[in-house]
Structure 1
Amino acid sequence: MAALLLCGMATAAGAEPISYEVASKNLFSPKGASVEMLPVPGLLADNAALLESVVKDYAYYAAVAVAPEEELLTSEATVLVANHHSAEAAAAAALAGCNAARKGGAECVLAGLVRPKKWAARDFQLSLEGTLVLTGDYKKQKGPRAMAISAQTGFFGLGFGAQAPEAAVQACADKGATDCAVAVVDPG
C-alpha cells in the first residue's frame, strides 16, 4: 500500500502538483457544455441526430464510440462515457469499451465529444464533478488539503490534514482507480 501511495504522489502526466489558486484559473465553468459530433461512415442521419440528442445531456468530458458495422441502437458496443478529466481520456475509455463489446468487424470509431463551453486546451483540466468539488468542498476546507485524480477513469479523491496527499490518493484508489496521482495540493 505504501508503494501505491508513493507512486501516486506526482500527477498522472508526471507534472508536479499545483495549488488551488493555479488550478482554479484553469477550470471551465460548470455551466454548459458543447457537443462535437464526428462523421461516422454509414451512420444514418436519423441515428446521428438521435445520438447527438443523448450525448448533449452528459457531463463534460464525455465521449461516445460506435462499432460502424453494428446497429447503433441495439449494439452493446455503442459506448458513452462521461465525467472524465479530459476529452482525450473520455475518448480512450469510450473506444476501449466499444472495442471490447463489438462482435467483430471494423474497429470502433469516435462519434462524439462533450467539452465545456468555450473549451480550449489548458494545462490542467477536471471533470464537471471534479470542478464542482474542487471549487466547493476543497476550497472551503482550511489547513492542509490535496486532490488526487485518475486520468484513466475520471475518479478523484480528497485528503485533508497532515497526510492530505496520501489520503487523497487513497480516497481516489478506493473508488477503483489504479492510476491516482496528486494533482492539487495546498499546505493550508
Structure 2
Amino acid sequence: MSLFPPPLAGALGAGGLIPFLATSAPVQLVLPFDALLKPLRSAIGRPSLNATELQVTYGCMILSFLGAPHWGWALSSTAAPRGVTAFRLIWGVTPALIAWPLASTPAPTSLDALSAGLGLAYAVDAAAWVAGQTPRCYLALRTPLTLVAILSLQSNRDRWRNKTVD
C-alpha cells in the first residue's frame, strides 16, 4: 500500500478542514461570520452563539470520530495480539469521552483541551503507525489535518484570553 492516501480520502479530509478554517480567527477578520450566524441564532434561539462555539463543537465531533478507525482495525483483525485488540477497543471510545464535556466547556479552556485531545489522538495514531498497525498512508493523511485543526483552534485563543464567557 502507498504512503499516500487515496485521492478521495485526501479530498474528504481536506473538506473536513473547512469548518475549522471558516471559524478560525484569521478568516473571521475577513468573513463576517457573526453576521452570517444571525439567522441560525434566531432559528435555534441562541443569541450568544458564536463562531468559536461552532468550531469547538465541530472539533469535538472530529475528535470523537478519531477513535473509530481503531475499532474498525480491532474488529477486522483476527491476527492481532489480545492486548493490542483490547487497547484499540478502549482507545476507540476514549476520544469521544474526552470530547463530550469539552462541547460544553467555555473558551479558551475548550480550545486548549480540544487541541490537546487532537494531539493525543495523533500521538496514539503515530505510535500505531510506527508499530505497523495502521495502513501506511494513515499518518500522511492525519498529519496535515491535525496540524491545521489545532492551529485553527489556537487562532481563536487570544479572542477569549481576557473574556469571561457564560
Greater RCO, CA 8 A, separation 6+: 2
Task: Please identify which structure carries the higher helix content.
Answer: 2
The answer to whether the superposition gives a TM-score over 0.5 is no
Task: Please identify which structure carries the higher strand content.
Answer: 1
Give the TM-score normalised by the residue count of structure 1: 0.27
